[in-house]
Amino acid sequence: MRTFLTALLALALAAGLAAAQVSPGPLARPHAALDGPTQCFQCHARSGGSMDSRCLSCHTEIAALRTARRGLHARTGDRTCASCHPDHGGREFELVAFEEGRPARFDHGRAGFALSGAHAGLECATCHRPALQGEPLVAGKRRVKDTSTSWIGLQRDCRSCHDDVHRGQIGTDCQRCHDVRAWKPAPGFDHSRSRFALTGLHRKVECLACHASETVSRGRDAAGKRLVQWKPLESAQCSSCHRDPHSGRFGAECSRCHSTSGFDHIDGKQFDHDRTRYPLRGRHAGLACESCHRSGAQAVTRPASGKCTDCHRDAHAGTATLAGQAVDCASCHDVRGFARSILPLAAHQASAFPLTGAHLEAACADCHRRVPRATPGSLALGTAGVQLRPAHARCTDCHRDPHAGRFAPKGPRGREADCIACHDDAHFSPADFGPDDHRNARFVLEGAHRAVPCAQCHTDLTRPAPTASHGTVDAKHLPFEDARRACADCHRDPHAGQFASGRGAACDRCHGSDAFSPAVRFDHQRDASFKLEGAHARAECSACHTTDRDAKGVSVTRYRPLSGKCESCHSDTGSRGGARPPGSDRSMRVLSSTAEVRHASHAS
């Protein structure tokens, strides 16, 4: 018996070992050398753990890229090698599969180098070719030497794929000047940041006119084109590029008399105006000398310059004042231009109308309007025609009254009327008028009415917003006249006129203002002709008050008239002779099928 068991155990162990050595299928062609029962543990761990360490020990180029956090494999997170590259699918099985279906649809951003600009339209093989796979991390680590089908080994710097046409003159950071859309133009290059900023006519000169001229070029390339010299270029003096027509008689510093606007244009730079009592700034710097230094046919060597009015006429005809005193133009304007005011806010705060709220954001011209010349009194404002001291005692001096005077002379709060009774200068809308303020109105807001948006009742608010009186858009008309007082003026009667007359005509007899349902003021014992006693007190309202549809198809709950007779609900006798009261048929059918009510009645 012991011998038989020993033999049986040996057979079982042999069968287990044989089953463990059965391959699930042939390996793909790249792994064909590992096929066979003796090679399993080249990839599979004996303990059943992850194969990643064995994969990376073979594919050392991938291990190097992952360590350096470069490429697609460094961005796969915690995914195992086998999750993307399963094997045992046969010799023709593709180990490299693309989630997008094919290489052309691959999201290149997953590899750490998103394709944009001109790169986005390239074929994959344009870049992924052996000649460009010079990544040092990969070189020498590939087990497969045929790189014609490899996707790795590319570098990110431009020079790894593109020739440096600048021959190292401008450094190695191509993206300082160029982007991926096209080689030309170079949007990142700004000549003004170089040692020689382009001004005047220099802006129109072709680059090669200076950088490939015979005076600066150093030989020619293989195609015979003159080599371009980008830097360094001599540019300290104009004579570095231009012939001196004066043959040195006026020295080498051409800019003392000439500018880049044109050789024939003499801008007087040889004269340093900053040495005078009046340095030229702003728009004065662009004036012709004759504008100030000539009066008729006579030259003026030292024109008066103590005040603006020494040269300029007062465009405001003396209406420009601060604290009641006429001021010089320089109080509000500078040499950059007359049309632009530079009056500081602190100065305006010292005026008769300090700016607060939304007025701080208003443009000067919103209040200080330009008055048309044909307007009576406009001549008194000077040639500028600007109203510097507008009326400002009341809001309506500048703004239209959207309420058409309804709240004048006293506002709804009982204060002396002006817009500030309900509004402030931070904004016109929404008004500073809440439900508590409505107590002074003819309709006091209570209960749920306090939460209703103003525009739901005051539909005037849905019209276009009001504008300042100087605008061209018509102001919103907000009379807030509303004659509605009764509930039915705003709300549909859900009872279809059942309580339109008699003791229950007013909605508030049964309902409160907090909510329509439940009817908190209704007491069946007090307000109905049928007292609820015994089991009736426990019956659902809908058992007696059923819902029908009126002639318009609207659901209406029947409250009256209803019969108070027992047989109307609790027996079939109501069907024998005579007409049944309205609603009693349905009530009878409902209650006659409800044993609970009948049993409760017997119990009581």
Q: Do 147 and 228 sit in the same domain of this protein?
A: no
Q: Do 47 and 151 sit in the same domain of this protein?
A: yes
pLDDT > 50? residue 468: no
- Do 135 and 156 form a contact (C-beta atoms < 8 A)? no
pLDDT > 70? residue 185: yes
Q: How many percent of the chain have pLDDT more than 70?
A: 83
- Do 42 and 54 form a contact (C-beta atoms < 8 A)? yes
What pLDDT score was predicted for residue 504?
A: 43
pLDDT > 70? residue 321: yes
Q: Which pair of structure tokens corresponds to residue 213?
A: 């001229």
Q: Do 151 and 43 sit in the same domain of this protein?
A: yes
Q: What is the DSSP string of 219-248?
A: -B-TTSPBPP--S----SSGGGTS--TTTT
Summarised one tens digit per residue, pLDDT across range 360-373 is 988 888 888 888 88
288-300: average pLDDT? 76
pLDDT > 80? residue 576: no
Highest averaged pLDDT of the listed ranges 234-243, 244-253, 522-531: 522-531
Average pLDDT across the chain, whole number:
79
Q: How many percent of the chain have pLDDT more than 90?
A: 3
Asked if residue 555 belongs to a domain, the reply is yes
Distances in Å between the Cα of 40 and the Cα atoms of 60, 101, 144 are 20, 30, 21
Rounded to the nearest 5°, which phi and psi values hold at 574?
-65, -15
Q: Do 87 and 152 sit in the same domain of this protein?
A: yes
Checking phi first, is residue 553 left (phi over 0); if not, alpha (psi -120 to 50) or beta? left
pLDDT > 60? residue 128: yes
Q: Which residue has the higher pLDDT, 190 or 598?
A: 190
Q: Do 120 and 201 sit in the same domain of this protein?
A: no
Q: Which pair of structure tokens corresponds to residue 82?
A: 């086998």
The number of folded domains in the chain is 3
Q: What is the DSSP string of 48-78?
A: S--SHHHHHHH-HHHHHHHHTT-SGGGGSTT
Q: Which pair of structure tokens corresponds to residue 37?
A: 């029962």
Q: In a 3-state reduction of DSSP, which class is residue 322?
A: strand
pLDDT > 80? residue 171: yes
Place of tokens 């508590």: 436
Q: Which of 146, 152, 159, 60 is nearest to 111 (CA)?
A: 152
Cβ burial, residue 27 (10 Å; 0-12/13-18/19+)? buried
Q: Which pair of structure tokens corresponds to residue 600?
A: 């409760």
Q: Do 152 and 195 sit in the same domain of this protein?
A: no
Q: Do 141 and 225 sit in the same domain of this protein?
A: no
Q: Which of 260, 383, 371, 244 is nearest to 316 (CA)?
A: 383
pLDDT > 80? residue 210: yes
Asked if residue 60 belongs to a domain, the reply is yes
Summarised one tens digit per residue, pLDDT across range 438-448 is 887 888 888 99
Asked if residue 537 belongs to a domain, the reply is yes
**Per-residue pLDDT band at 575 (split at 50, 70, 90):** very low
Q: Which pair of structure tokens corresponds to residue 467?
A: 């504008």
Q: Do 47 and 152 sit in the same domain of this protein?
A: yes
167-177: average pLDDT? 86
262-275: average pLDDT? 67
Asked if residue 200 belongs to a domain, the reply is yes
What pLDDT score was predicted for residue 26?
A: 92
Q: What is the DSSP string of 353-397?
A: S---GGGGGS-HHHHSPBPPTTSTTGGGGTTTTB-SS---SSGGG
Select from 259, 276, 293 the last residue of a domain: 276
Domain of 50, in residue numbers: 23-156
Please enumerate in sequence order all residues whose Cβ is within 8 A of that of 50, keeping only pairs 6 or more positions apart, or say none.
Answer: 80
- Do 378 and 387 form a contact (C-beta atoms < 8 A)? no
CA dihedral for 573, 575, 576, 578, sign (positive or negative): positive
Q: Do 28 and 152 sit in the same domain of this protein?
A: yes
**Per-residue pLDDT band at 184 (split at 50, 70, 90):** confident
Select from 253, 276, 299 the last residue of a domain: 276
Q: Which residue has the higher pLDDT, 5 or 541?
A: 541
Select from 243, 276, 309 the last residue of a domain: 276
Tallying the residues shown for the chain, one arrives at 604
Q: Tell me, what amino acid is at 555? A: S
Tell me how far apart the terminal alpha carbons of the chain are, to the nearest angstrom. 87
**Per-residue pLDDT band at 419 (split at 50, 70, 90):** confident
Asked if residue 451 belongs to a domain, the reply is no
What pLDDT score was predicted for residue 119?
A: 92
Q: Do 27 and 149 sit in the same domain of this protein?
A: yes
Q: Which pair of structure tokens corresponds to residue 566?
A: 């027992």
Q: Do 139 and 196 sit in the same domain of this protein?
A: no
What pLDDT score was predicted for residue 186?
A: 87
What pLDDT score was predicted for residue 11?
A: 40
Asked if residue 223 belongs to a domain, the reply is yes
283-301: average pLDDT? 79
- Measured distance CA(238)–CA(196) in Å, rounded: 11
Asked if residue 507 belongs to a domain, the reply is no
**Per-residue pLDDT band at 236 (split at 50, 70, 90):** confident
- Do 117 and 182 form a contact (C-beta atoms < 8 A)? yes
- Do 188 and 178 form a contact (C-beta atoms < 8 A)? yes
Asked if residue 424 belongs to a domain, the reply is no
Summarised one tens digit per residue, pLDDT across range 2-34 is 443 344 344 444 444 444 457 788 999 889 888
HSE (side-chain half, CA atoms, 13 Å) at 557: 8
Q: Do 54 and 132 sit in the same domain of this protein?
A: yes
**Per-residue pLDDT band at 275 (split at 50, 70, 90):** low
